[in-house]
């Protein structure tokens, strides 16, 4: 994800989630509350594509992204919109780190089984459903931009005939972050 796209994602997310006083200092117009409500009700990326909230994100991306002749591209960005609407506060936590941290007791916030189901999602619909569930379990306390980057990596790997090197795959990076956080180790 290029720097322009990261900036667009962050400003779009802030327009929906940040308090008006903060938005005013950042010179960002607050998004109508209906944007967030519509995106939260979406059951698929196709549903998200039909929302005003998605269009507010999509139409601010570069022409290079919008004009790509690849249906997976728009599906990826619709998934980003449908998931980021569940991120409640901007933090530095990556998704896998937040999921692997110890919750109450000695268990991780997200169980190994649920996290492995996310890693092994076979379709974009399954990925969206499982990703939303994990984001809700970590109470939306993840970095919106890092999550968008992870979603984009997943889509770039989805449907590839030649798999990437193991250490470059998103599922492997998530596993390393998850188990590192679960063990209490830092990078």
Strand partners of residue 171: none
Distance CA 44, CA 119 (A): 18
**Where is 33: in which H helix or E strand?**
helix 33-41
pLDDT for the residue 185? 65
Q: What share of the chain is helix, strand, coil (3-state, %, to 5)?
A: 65, 0, 35
Q: What is the DSSP code (8-state) at residue 176?
A: H
Is the model's pLDDT at 31 over the cut of 80?
yes
Is the model's pLDDT at 79 over the cut of 80?
yes
| Structure confidence by residue, pLDDT tens digits, 102-132 | 877 788 899 999 999 999 899 999 999 999 9
User: Which among 64-68, 128-132, 168-172 has the top mean pLDDT?
Assistant: 128-132
Residue 139 dihedral angles phi and psi, to the nearest 5°: 60, 30
């Amino acid at each position: 994800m290029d720097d322009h796209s990261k900036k667009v994602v962050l400003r779009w997310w802030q327009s929906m989630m940040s308090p008006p006083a903060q938005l005013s200092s950042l010179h960002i117009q607050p998004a109508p509350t209906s944007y967030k409500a519509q995106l939260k009700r979406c059951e698929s990326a196709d549903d998200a594509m039909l929302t005003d909230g998605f269009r507010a994100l999509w139409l601010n991306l570069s022409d290079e992204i919008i004009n790509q002749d690849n249906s997976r591209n728009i599906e990826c960005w619709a998934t980003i919109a449908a998931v980021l609407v569940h991120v409640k506060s901007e933090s530095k936590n990556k998704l896998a780190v937040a999921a692997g941290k110890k919750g109450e007791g000695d268990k991780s916030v997200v169980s190994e089984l649920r996290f492995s189901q996310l890693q092994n999602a076979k379709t974009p619909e399954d990925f969206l459903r499982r990703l939303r569930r994990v984001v809700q379990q970590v109470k939306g306390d993840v970095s919106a931009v890092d999550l968008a980057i992870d979603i984009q990596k997943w889509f770039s790997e989805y449907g590839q005939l030649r798999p990437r090197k193991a250490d470059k795959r998103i599922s492997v990076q998530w596993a390393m972050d998850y188990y590192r956080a679960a063990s209490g180790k830092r990078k």
